[in-house]
């Protein structure tokens, strides 16, 4: 016969380990929702990924431009910085040759807006993942 175990008090239980803040933020920047997936928040991760990635793809399909970093034009510089906040999708699209921009297309500005806003929204997602990693949420 097996002797019953003594109950473990809360002070004796090991503390749950959290992934590091740098790892969480890096993954959250690289892939939308990955920081939340790392934190065990699959619902949020899927929601963010299923929203931001198609938004970026729609921006490309609408003929939006992936802006280069140019210090001579402040608005182009800001647009490029915003687009790079999406990480891997921006890198892959640029390497694949997408996002050359069709200036005469009626949807060109809509495409630019989608590309820029998807990056800026990912910054908010990154901040939320960082708050979870710090234990604030």
Tens of pLDDT, residue by residue over 19-34, are 799 999 999 999 999 9
> pTM surpassing 0.75?
yes
Q: Convert 16-55 to b/e letters by CB count within 10 Å (16 or more is b).
A: eeeeeeeebbbbbbbbbbbbbbbbebeebbeebbebbbeb
| Average pLDDT of every residue of the chain | 92
The pLDDT of residue 39 is: 94
The pLDDT of residue 34 is: 97
Identify how many contiguous H helices and E strands the chain contains and give both numbers: 6, 0
């Amino acid at each position: 016969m097996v002797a019953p175990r003594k109950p473990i008090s809360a002070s004796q239980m090991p503390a749950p380990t959290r992934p590091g803040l740098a790892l969480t933020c890096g993954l959250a920047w690289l892939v939308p929702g990955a920081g939340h997936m790392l934190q065990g928040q699959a619902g949020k991760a899927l929601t963010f990924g299923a929203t931001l990635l198609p938004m970026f793809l729609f921006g490309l399909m609408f003929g939006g431009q992936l802006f280069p970093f140019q210090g001579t034009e402040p608005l182009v510089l800001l647009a490029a910085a915003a687009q790079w906040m999406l990480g891997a999708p921006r890198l892959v699209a640029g390497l694949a040759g997408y996002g050359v921009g069709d200036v005469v297309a009626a949807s060109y500005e809509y495409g630019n807006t989608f590309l820029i806003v998807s990056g800026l929204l990912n910054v908010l997602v990154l901040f939320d993942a960082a708050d979870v990693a710090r234990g604030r949420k």
